[in-house]
Structure 1
Amino acid sequence: MTFPSAKITAVWIATIAVILASINGATAQSFRRGGTEFNAVRSVFVPTRKTHAAVVVEFLHHGEIRPDGRNVLVAARNKEAVPFRVLQVGPGDFCRVAFQTIEGQSAYDVFYGGDPPRDEPPAWTCHDGLLLETRKFSRCNLRSLESVREAFQSAEPIGADYVEGVFHAANPCSLKREPFLSRYSGYLHLRESGTYGFFTSSRDCSFLLIDGKPAASAPGRHGPQRRATRGSRHDVQLTAGEHKFEYYHAAAGPDAVMVAAWEIDPPEEKPRRPREIPAEVFHSHLVGRLPAGRVSLRVGGQAPDFLADVAGDVPLPENDVPLVGVKFRDLSPKTLTAHGAKIRWDFGDGQTSDLPNVDHVYLRPGLYAVTLSVRRGVRTAEMTNRIYVDRPLLTSSDKLHTLDEYLRIIETYAPSKLDAASLRQLAFVFEAKALAAPDRSDGYLAKAVEAVHAAFRDGSAAKGDDDLLKLAQLICPLARFSLGDSRTALEIWRGAARRIDAAEPKAECEIAAADVAVNDLLRAADAKPLLEAATKRLFPNSPLPQAGEGQGVRVIAAELQRVWGDFFAATGDGRSARNAYLEAQRLLGSSRRFNVETAQRGAHARSTEEFLRSKQYVRAAEEIESWLRAFPVARLDGYLTLLLARYWSGRGRYAQAIAQAEQLHTVSPDSPYIDQLLFLAADCEMRLGRKDRASATLHSLVNDYPGSPLAPLAKKNIEILEGGK
């Protein structure tokens, strides 16, 4: 499977291959330049048929370049250094360098790694192109040019690049949407003298300067100006020739807009049709972009090499974390990869591939150490680069990626090699597909459960208490309610409790496991040691939270008491069950008035009734779960238990429905809903083929609750059952 832009990339790779072939044929050279010995070199071939005053190259530096970029030097082949600029180092091992060309010179070398050069590089003299520099936001007065300029000069660099004009809706030097400061600098190359009317439109402040003097401004914090209005243009008389251009901008929030426009010789004060200042005015066409050649190392010589292109992303429903597609292309020398050599990619997320060129999907943004290994015989050569992965700033509509394209890749992943946060994303992927394909939803949900189940087995890469807890909290309701696989839910909760170290999240998992054991699987004996462990873990010196305990602990303690109540009810200890439910409610506390609580309970009840009526059993289970957590004392009233029994009956889990009737009979035999529960339990006994038990349950209803409206119908059913013996 390849991403939509694969054909374009293939052409690009072919072009690079031709250039690399030319470069690799060049004579080997020394790594000493500028009075120091560098660790690596990449060659750049500049076609002599094209006029490039300067060239921009991008490459991965495999950890060799310092954050300040000082251990870099660019020289003409077999000659001295040329003027150059290290435009950007990072994120990860990304590097962008610009250098000036020499007329008639086609081959250049970018040296890097090791100590900085002792000799000062030649000063930059080129006036062609428009340079955009972006830096981290620093507090300043957005209404003052001087304040913004001073903040920019002292701020930490993000990155820089040559651009065609001032026309951006984000920081093109970063994939992160965050506040930043920016400066565009270059020269206007005017063919004619005249009046030039300048405009600026920006999100937050912007200041445009010509020859160091303000020409247009939009101070303060604001949105972009959508229309040019009277007074928004600033006219400047300029002569033909070069004029220094500067544009300062500050984005105080995550969104940004930067636009500089003009009108030439405007006929009147009212703006007519301002347009973006064109690229040719900055001589942007004289700044070329060329690929850097393969890396050659001072120690080790030729090495594996590769390109990484963040090609697109796919958002997930109700999820701020996107899936990101990255194209990896092997650029290793043929001398390494020929003659039966074996290639292996390690993408830094636990996944691997043995294909030379591969499309990979990262389940979440981040910085990944990607290693390309080439093994031939007993010798293995490898190269590692840190790749920063995030949602691309812009993707054209014909290159948009889809979840189905990504899914074909993701389904090949080894879940046991993923970290917990990535596994959670993997579960979200299958959940999204289940929503998109209702006829196959169970299959996708089963894949999600199975993938996460692997995280709680031995040998899993998933770690971190918080991430493991979130993972279990996401997947166990899917297993328990959506798939009806309570056994797997119990195993996951137990596995999470084993792998988590911190007391509170570990106890949460033990409590949840006990809940499933006692209510779903009817294995109260398995629930007891889990509850005892959670109690000892949370309160080693006291059975309950004391004054001053945090609200988080009290919520966990309330859930612990609630499940203890279910355990006591299931084992016939009504008094202990009642006390546990009451204590759970006390621990939760309430600042709500009685009528508000009554309304909330009623809302839970009505929602559950509607979900059961429409057979939306998953939503019914979720509503009951929410109801139980907020009002554990509702177990004493009995209506919640009745609806829970109806839920189990609707799902065909008749033994569980019968167990709910038995629990209520133990805890609250005088509940106004006990007769309905007994009648439902008798029906479930019949569905299980247990006529004697059905008859005994109906007898209990008739004898213990003779005033029930269901008593006459129960008698008739007894006659039918016993008459058919």
Structure 2
Amino acid sequence: MKIRLVGIIGFCITVAVDLATGRGWWNYHWHYRRSATVSEAKRSGLPGDDIAVLTMPSGGLIQPDGRDIRITTASGRIVKHRVLMVGPGDVVRIAFALQPPVKKYFVYFGNAQADKPKQILKIQRGVLMETWAYPGGGIANFHQVLGVFRRANVFLGRDFRRDIFIGHNPFGPQNRICSIFTGALLCPRDGDYLFSTTSRDASFLLVDGKVVVRNGGHHRAWPRAVKIGRIHLKKGLHELKVYHVSTRGDPIIVAAWRPPGVRRIWKIPPAAFAPIVRATPGFIEQYGKALTADFIYHHAGETFLANRYLQRYEFVAGLSGRFVGKCRYEWDFGDGQKLSITTSAAKPVKCEHVYLSDGAKKVRLVVTIGASKLSRTNVIQVARPWDRITENRMEPLGLYARLVAEYDFTSASAVDIANAIVLFKRTGLFDAIVRAGDALISKKDAPAQALREAMDIYADVLVERMNNSCKAIEALLRAAKMSSSPAISARLMSKAGRYALQSGNDTLAMKIFSQAIHKYSALTTNEAIRDAKIGIGDVWRYRGNYKKAL
């Protein structure tokens, strides 16, 4: 392969000619590609295509329905694929046909004029779960359940599972859902097979299109096989399909069987389904560009904090193409936080980030090489890893606190600051509480409950740890103006009045208590007004006037 050198202000970038000129590019109408690598590529010998599944960031460069996606081998041979889902955020999941012994493939995208591919991969491997929000309707029999799926129009997710044994929704917090499981079942021998489902609410099991188990209606999941069906099957690959509708509670569904020669009905094990493999994405390349910046991310962990979960993500950034010299990686994590890393190494750069609230985060990477800047943006939907919530693996709060303590809170949202303050209290980082609290009261407004919780902690630290009652009083009065809730505002003012009285400033305390009553008593009847009235009595007692205190 020929190599050329491109000089850029004091250092050199070495790039492969095929990226700059487009050699080896399958079709120049597709502007981007990303490699997909599988660790093993052996033929199973089963009917149909062996399958790999790839989940990758799209950079917002793929069409909303994924119609512009094409997958090829390194030699440019098209392989069949099926887009499983696009989103949430800038992410796409694809199943494609393996071509053993090929291990490296390319995913092409970024063609707005592309039509849908003519051939769609027929999936005959693994267990594919497809889930929609339950639209309502009867579920007493199979005909009614099919009607539910015809009406379902809120798609939640599609991915492969190890088996049909689940008690949660892996695609989100909803529990009123309807799911179809399609499994490529490997029957070990000829004979009569027993099948059973246990589920919360309706489930129906089909083999090769024939209904074998009918378990309709609203009911709980039984701990034993109650609904059982029998079918004679030949050795080899069969299509197993399970329809499940959950209208309430945790969406529990288990598919079980008893093959010939086995005495008991057991959950169908993962080994009974024809396997799939997971592919690993590489960095994006752009047609005609010698060097392209990109990043890949994954959810790395979560922790639990006072009725909320915090999420940790790991990011890996790199360049497609080769270079020699220094470059600067600048991250904007989409929540007001930024990070800059300068390196002279050509290997990928890693970092991690804690998100203090859920939602869509627009993450942007800018790589500066001399006078040139390369960038990549992905919208990440930050949320709990719903498919792993049953593992209950919570990371230490201290790990999260150490990362968050480095944040610039002046650019963070009020909700994120409030959550950070709660985190710092739990981990004893009092200086960080003060820094975050200072940033919080500089905001124009904040959600009432978040403000109340954070200000209680912040003010207590100012008084008890920093011996600064004046600052605590000023902060509480400022927060009272920020809140849109009269009840929270009155509570914050009453707390400020208490601190004023404790510090011996009875005049200020009387003024604050009186203002709280005058301003908010007509708007709320909560205990904060009662506390303000009691506070006025305490001021009179402090002054020795016990008659007025009554």
- Supply the distance in 2 between the matched residues of 1:26 and 1:273 (Cα, whole angstroms): 63
- For the structure 1 residues 223 and 119, does the alpha-carbon distance in structure 2 shift closer, same or farther, using more than 3 Å as the test? closer
Q: Which one of 520, 543, 550 corresponds to residue 662 of structure 1?
A: 543
Equivalence map 1:257-268=2 (5 Å): 257-265=252-260
Whole-Å separation in 1 of the counterparts to 2:543 and 2:139: 70
Q: Partners of 2:535 and 2:391 in 1: how far apart?
A: 55
Is the counterpart of residue 456 in structure 1 residue 441 in structure 2?
A: yes
Change (3 A) 1:660 1:72: farther
Identify the residue that residue 377 of structure 1 maps to in structure 2.
370
Query: Relative contact order, CA 8 A, sep 6+: which one is greater?
Result: 2
Closer/same/farther in 2, CA of residues 293 and 511 from structure 1, 3 Å limit: closer
> Over residues 464-494 of structure 1, what are the superposed CA-to-partner deviations in whole Å (9 max), with x where a residue is unaligned?
4546743555435534775564322222124
Q: 1:291-313: CA deviations, max 9, x gaps?
A: 12211124756422222221221
Is structure 2 residue 420 aligned with structure 1 residue 426?
Answer: yes
Give secondary structure in 2 for the equivalent of 1:305.
Answer: strand
Structure 2 residue 34 is matched with structure 1 residue 42: yes
Measure the CA separation in 1 of the matches of 2:541 and 2:23.
82
Contact 1:423 1:471 in 2 (8 A): no
**Structure having the higher Rg:** 1
Report the Cα distance in structure 1 between the residues aligned to 2:73 and 2:383, rounded to whole angstroms: 35
1:488 equivalent in alignment to 2:481:
no
**Are the counterparts in 2 of residues 510 and 533 from structure 1 also a CA contact under 8 Å?**
no
The one-character-per-residue Cα deviations of 1:530-553 (angstroms, maximum 9, x if unpaired) are 7898799x69xxxx84xxxxxxx1
Deviation at 1:130, TM superposition (A): 2.5
More helix by share: 1
**Alpha-carbon distance in 1 for matches of 2:194, 2:21:** 51
For 1:630-645, list aligned pairs within 5 A: 630=530, 641=538
Give CA deviations for 1:83-117 in whole Å, capped at 9, x if unaligned. Answer: 21111212211211111134565553212234252
2:497 is equivalent to residue 515 of structure 1:
yes
TM-score for the superposition, normalised by structure 2 = 0.81
1:147 maps to a residue whose letter is Q
Quick check: 1:81–1:122 contact (8 Å CA) kept in 2? no
Which of 222, 225, 240 lines up with 1:225 in the alignment? 222
Contact 1:166–1:260 (Cα < 8 Å) also in 2: yes
Secondary structure of the structure 1 residue equivalent to 2:194 = strand
Q: Give the match for residue 277 of structure 1.
A: 268
Partner of 1:113: 110
* Per-residue CA distance 1:56-89 (angstroms, 9 max, x = gap): 1111001123443333222344546432111121
SS at match of 1:294: strand
Distance 1:179 1:446 in 2: 45
AA aligned opposite 2:548: V
SS where residue 319 of structure 2 aligns?
A: coil
Secondary structure in 1 aligned to 2:542? helix
2:207 maps to which residue?
Answer: 210
1:326 maps to which residue?
Answer: 313
Does structure 1 residue 478 correspond to structure 2 residue 460?
yes
The alignment of Structure 1 onto Structure 2 pairs a total of residues equal to 519
How far apart, in 2, do the equivalents of 1:212 and 1:66 lie?
Answer: 34
From the superposition, tell whether residues 417 and 634 of structure 1 become closer, same or farther in structure 2 (CA, over 3 Å).
Answer: closer
Deviation of the 1:321 alpha carbon: 1.0
Q: Residues 243-258 of structure 1: matches in 2 within 5 Å?
A: 243-253=238-248, 255-258=250-253
**Runs of 4+ deviating beyond 6 Å:** 23-27, 395-399, 527-536
Please give the alpha-carbon distance, in whole angstroms, between the structure 2 residues aligned to 1:324 and 1:307. 17
User: Residue 124 of structure 2 is aligned with which of 127, 138, 154?
Assistant: 127
Give the secondary structure class of the aligned counterpart of 2:293: coil
**CA–CA distance in structure 1, aligned partners of residues 319 and 491 of structure 2:** 49
Given the superposition, is the C-alpha separation of residues 633 and 283 from structure 1 closer, same or farther in structure 2, using an over 3 Å criterion? closer
Residue from 349, 368, 384 that aligns with 2:361: 368
Which has the larger strand fraction? 2
User: 2:90 — aligned with what?
Assistant: 93
Q: Name the amino acid aligned to 2:471.
A: T
Unpaired runs of 5+ residues, structure 2, are: 1-15, 45-49, 342-348
Residues 99 and 535 of structure 1: CA distance in aligned 2, closer, same or farther (over 3 Å): same
Q: Distance in 1 between matches of 2:505 and 2:163?
A: 70
Identity %: 24
| Matching residue's letter, 1:478 | D
Give the unaligned 5+ runs of structure 1. 1-20, 435-443, 546-552, 556-587, 589-625, 642-656, 672-725
Deviations 1:679-701 (A, max 9, x none): xxxxxxxxxxxxxxxxxxxxxxx
Give the TM-score, by structure 1 length.
0.63
Shift of 1:455: 1.9
**RMSD over aligned Cα atoms:** 3.8
Cα separation, partners in 2 of 1:503 and 1:260, compared to 1, 3 Å: closer
SS in 1 for 2:250: coil
Aligned position for 2:382: 389
> Distance between the aligned counterparts of 1:263 and 1:502, measured in 2?
62
2:198 is matched with which residue: 195, 198, 201?
201
One-letter code aligned to 2:157: G
Q: Is the 8 A contact 1:341 1:376 kept in 2?
A: yes
Q: Map residues 153-168 of structure 1 onto 2, 5 A cutoff.
A: 153=150, 154-168=152-166
Cα 1:527–1:69 change in 2 (3 A) is farther
In the alignment, the residues of structure 1 paired with residue 98 and residue 418 of structure 2 have an alpha-carbon distance, to the nearest angstrom, of 50
More displaced, 482-491 or 394-403?
A: 394-403
Q: CA deviation at 1:386?
A: 1.5
Residue 187 of structure 1 contacts residue 243 of structure 1 at CA under 8 Å; is this kept in 2? Answer: yes
- Judging changes above 3 Å, is the alpha-carbon distance between structure 1 residues 221 and 667 closer, same or farther for their aligned structure 2 residues? same
**Corresponding residue of 1:409:** 403
